Chains A and B, each alone.
Chain A
Amino acid sequence: MSFDIQVNGRPFDTEPRAGQCLRTYLRERGWFGVKKGCDAGDCGACTVHVDGEPVHSCLYPAVRAEGRSVTTVEGLASRDGELHPVQQRFLDAQGYQCGFCTAGFLMTTAALEAERDTAQDDGKLDDLPRAFKGNICRCTGYRAIEDAVRGVRHTERPCAGKAVGRNVGAPAGPQVVTGTARYTFDVEVPGLLHMKLLRSPHPHARILAIDAAAALRVSGVVAVLTHEDAPGTLYSSARHEHPTEDPDDTRVLDDVVRYVGQRVAAVVADSEQAAEEGCRRIEVTYEELPYVTDPEEAMRPGAPVIHAGKGPGVRIARVENNIAGEVHGEIGSVEDGFAEADVVYEETFRTQRVQHASLETHGCVAYFEPKEDGTGERLTVRSSTQTPFLTRRALCALYGLPEDEVRVVAGRVGGGFGGKQEMLTEDIVTLAALKLRRPVKLEYTRAEQFYGATTRHPFTIGIKVGAREDGTLTAVQMRVVSDTGAYGNHGPAVMFHSVGESFAVYRAPHKKVDAFSVYTNVVPAGAFRGYGLGQVTFAVESVMDELARRLGMDPLVFREKNVIGPGESLHSPIGEEDDLHIASYGLDQCLSVVRKAIAEDRSAEEAPEGWLIGQGTGMAMIATGPPGGHYADARVSLLEDGTYDIAVGTAEFGNGTTTVHQQITAGALNTTEDRLAVRQSDTDVVRHDTGAFGSAGTVVAGKAVLLAATALAERLRTLAARHTGAARHLCVLGAESVDCAGRLVTLKELYEAGHALGAADELSADGHWGGSPRSVAFNAQWFRLAVDPATGEIRILRSVHAADAGKVVNPMQCRGQVEGGVAQALGATLFENVRTDERGEVTTAAFRRYRLPQYADVPRTEVHFTETSDAIGPLGAKSMSESPFNPVAPAFANALRDATGIRFTELPVTRDRVWLALDRKARNIGR
């Protein structure tokens, strides 16, 4: 039987497999622009046109494409390369961040434009919430996408040396909109083997035996790996500059499983199909063990001990109580503080499990390539990671390899949000690759993201605050229980961070904390945007609002009275951090933005009749980098053709740091961004980089780039002076050439001169930054809401966000970070919820069961930046990636309290729960 199909005008005749979907058929033919976001028809990233009709190719039976003509994003531009108008508009508006969903939005929009004014047109292009029902973007919050569809231009091309502070477009933009940006899995590796994981059906069990004989008989299966093949080494999947921050409680494959979904064995085969069949044939004998899924129960005496037998060397705080980490501290005496107070308020708040839901799933491809020095081969791991250098370090430690035998590289990463500050696939793929000496790939399914990766830590926060009648805080006390799940990756660190800045931002003479990071037999939690602060901020900002109300004070006035001011030192009951300073202070301006919004706001008039109206604020402080050092090396070099090369270790996953690094360099070298190329996220390009986490891309890696670029500018002027004999102070660097007292030396000439003078070293400069000292950034969010008491429906009438990002290097991108953070936080506020059953098994392992904010759910947020300039950050800039998330949930809950009179203490606040609370309140009053 012959098969024929046209893809982007090219014929293909390979017959698809019977159960194959069109998405994988296209990718196997090299059309990598077709992405897998969910593989279930929910996210739209795989949208293609079949005979002109847009379809989700992950659901389209490939056999049905017989005789049809398929267009992918690669076929959208004209043959001579001229962009489709929709591509151009997405580029001009920068309607993307990580870009993983972009092909789907482009193909959907292009189809709607083609349908415009035809008989098929039912008005979708004028109704984007409906048009984009099946397209999920996790990064942008959709405003940038709306602007792209509507043709709003944001990107600018500033002249030489003027890039900082302007809306320079991301350098990868042209690749993103044409589907040619290469993400983790967008590579062809000859002889590639595929890995699938067998996962535990039990929350806690000892593996007594594994019989892999039947699996090994499956045609195509090459190997089955079990705990007997894995090193005995204990480590943490969390990646930190200092591995000692996390307990070493994990094995590559363990003989004890501690949650439903933990990997039990890996099958490697020449196809995913065979690997999957192999997994089904493995017979495992388990001895089921008692389990515990509630953190409070887990701490009680007699609870099942999840990491029984692990000694003190692994840094688990109290193995027998399932406590991964804990901290206790007191400043002054809260007992005295509450005695001094006129009003004391106490409440318990709870936050749920949330998934990062980056559209690109976890995974990596490991292969061997010749070493540059010709001494054999080395292992290269291409991974969807935020931390290539730390992952290399961990792999080397785990398998006893020298660093020059392992290269870790990230392509463009399809979203991270903290989830990829973790080694979840590289360890086991490396095990297989080393054993087989063959290339191996593991690509998570969307379902595995939910039960086999990590989540945000669910928190329970008992909080008690006291204040005098005049509104002065006297005491703040918290008991924080964070559920780290079966493993302690990031558990203690998240717990520490959660009670740092959240305590320090309020001035109170008496503060006390007891915090616990607790093991349970549930999918592990890990790093997530905000790193614990968002959970505790929900509690702190809710109680400050409530306390103000009880005192009869305006919550804003109450805050202004009690927040720390410029120049003050930061006090948390867990102790001081010596290197943390308020190197710029914009909190007053943030609160002013809110005050002004309230004063001028007329949005209440838009509320439907009979709906309850309320407004509320939340605010947050965050350190501009992680504690304990965050290192970045950068090198900027002049190239032979007169352009520059920037080498930097940090990864790009839509955060926009590549653009910022170009802008910083363009400013320092008085050039334009088209003369700068960035090489990044590869352990080959620089010595070290801690990674793209802790909002470090601008303030740490950017600072290293600034130091390198500034040093290079000085070197080039010195070289030009030597070359021409002009006085050094008369040599001025320009985009094309150096003006040496009137004589123009082109950069190409200068490059040659450098070599001729034996000063080739002077054509490059290195920069290094250690991430210390650190400053703090501030955010405030304000909402006005309308609530329908009859249904629980909530409408956001207005959303205003103030961000103290210091000097903003790229306002368009920074605004995008804020909007995306607000949207992601709204998801966690309104509906996102990784639900687990009584055995800790995840029951919401698909986007149709785990609602992500869609176009229809996200309001436009007005973003205001403060006029501040930081004394520590590069060019006065501060971090602004994680922090916009943190004040959103409490601002929403405070507005809901204002509207309904009900204090919601548990997230998410879905319509049904809001209605139920209102109904109960109404009926109690009626009695």
Chain B
Amino acid sequence: MDLHTIADVRDARRREPWRPGDAWLGGGTYLFSEPQPHLRRLVDLSRMGWEPLVRHEDGSLEIAATCTIAQLSRYGRRLLEAPAAPLFEQCCRAFLASFKIWNMATVGGNLCNGLPAGPMISLATALDGTCLLQAQDGSLRGVKVVDFITGAGRKDLAEGELLRSVTLPGRALECRTAFRQASLYGLGRSGALVIGTLDPADGSLAVTVTAATTRPFRFWFPLPPDADRLRTAIDSAVAPAEWFDDIHGLPEWRRHMALRLAEEVRRELATPDGTQEGAR
């Protein structure tokens, strides 16, 4: 929709001083979807020229904040040669939004919106990602995605601070992954999204719970736990008020689904063929 209070669009390359009423313009798919009467200027990131996806020598993958979902989907389907590659497309498809939105929406925008159902948050948390943040004075800091999101729509981001990229370590990309999603509707917004990653290097298992909770939770086990331990770990870590309560699912159902999907993920990864209980 038209944002009537916007008086100017500035090119972010100019690095002009941040003013109250400024907002970073990534893909625009959130900004233009709701009235933003508090905003006066948009600082456009589309000409930054950041390489959308860079595979570094250490095997890590740096995803620019401006990388579109469509670019990420194509990369995951066609270019990334890593065991965790299928997870990219699974998370893209977990978007409520149409594939047409993928052509504009950015990875950084999804992270910075901080919504519980943000599937890029799920992906980047599960793959142990780290955000690179740039303050207005140019200083950089890194923060784990799991810590970047602090609540529903809340994130560790200062006024004018910019999410530059998110980096997924090479070791995470080598993991075998399992993905589960539940929604109240067919192909709808996630009410619970659980991802498991099994690290072949040491056999450790991480289970990431998102969408059901107000913020992402990542549970790491040196070895795959049994069903009870996994359940207890999740249930004791997520406080009752942290099971998300909104129109896309009752908290009781979200908790039930998260625990259930976590167990499915555990089973899938705890055994080589993923079909039955492991004997470890």
A: residues with CB less than 8 A from B are 17-21, 23-24, 39-42, 44, 47, 53-56, 58-61, 63-64, 108, 111, 119-120, 122, 124, 129-131, 133-135, 272-273, 276-277, 280, 445, 790-792, 830-831, 833, 835, 843-844, 846, 848-849, 851, 854, 856-857, 910-913, 915-916, 919
Contact = CB atoms under 8 A, between A and B. Distances in A.
B86 interface: no
B93 interface: yes
A818 B17 CA distance: 59
Interface string B1-33: 111111111000000000000000101110011
Please give me the 9 A-B residue pairs with the lowest Cβ-Cβ distance, nearest first: A134-B98, A19-B6, A19-B3, A912-B253, A856-B186, A39-B1, A273-B4, A40-B33, A912-B250
A808 to B, nearest CB: 31
Given A55-B104, A120-B74, A130-B187, 4 more contacts: A18-B9, A56-B29, A792-B253, A919-B256
A488 B9 CA distance: 47
A21 B28 CA distance: 10
Contacts of B250: 912-913, 916
Contacts of B5: 19, 277
B1 to A, nearest CB: 4
16 contacts: A19-B4, A21-B1, A53-B103, A58-B33, A64-B44, A122-B77, A133-B97, A133-B99, A277-B5, A792-B253, A833-B247, A849-B247, A856-B187, A911-B184, A912-B184, A912-B250
Contacts of A846: 34
Nearest to A134: B98
A61 B9 contact: yes
B114 interface: no
B80 interface: no
A280 B37 CA distance: 9
B249 interface: yes
A131 B4 contact: no
A657 B190 CA distance: 40
Nearest to A196: B4
Contact of A56 (B34, B77, B98, B189): B98
Interface residues of B, number: 52
Contacts of B254: 912
B78 interface: yes
A59 B33 contact: yes
A849 B248 CA distance: 8
B152 interface: no
Contacts of B271: none
B46 interface: yes
Nearest to A851: B185
Interface string B83-106: 000000100010011111101100
A445 B4 CA distance: 14
B279 to A, nearest CB: 25
Contact of B188 (A64, A445, A851): A851
Contacts of A134: 97-101
A54 B99 CA distance: 9
A740 B3 CA distance: 68
A55 B187 CA distance: 20
Contacts of B6: 17-19
Contacts of A133: 96-99, 187
B247 A790 contact: no
B123 interface: no
B72 to A, nearest CB: 13
B99 A791 contact: no
Contacts of B28: 59-61, 64
A20 B104 CA distance: 16
B270 interface: no
Contact of B100 (A47, A122, A835, A848): A47
Contacts of A276: 4
A56 B187 contact: no
B6 to A, nearest CB: 3
Given A273-B2, A280-B37, A790-B260, A55 B100 contact: yes
A124 B2 contact: no
A854 B96 CA distance: 11
Interface string B121-155: 00000000000000000000000000000000000
A831 B184 contact: yes
A56 B100 contact: yes
B65 interface: no
A54 B7 CA distance: 28
B166 interface: no
Contacts of A130: 93, 99, 187
A129 B93 CA distance: 12
Of A21, A41, A47, A124, the most chain B CB neighbours within 10 A belong to A41
Contacts of B4: 19, 272-273, 276-277
Contact of A791 (B77, B98, B182, B252): B182
A17 B74 contact: no
B191 interface: yes
B257 interface: yes
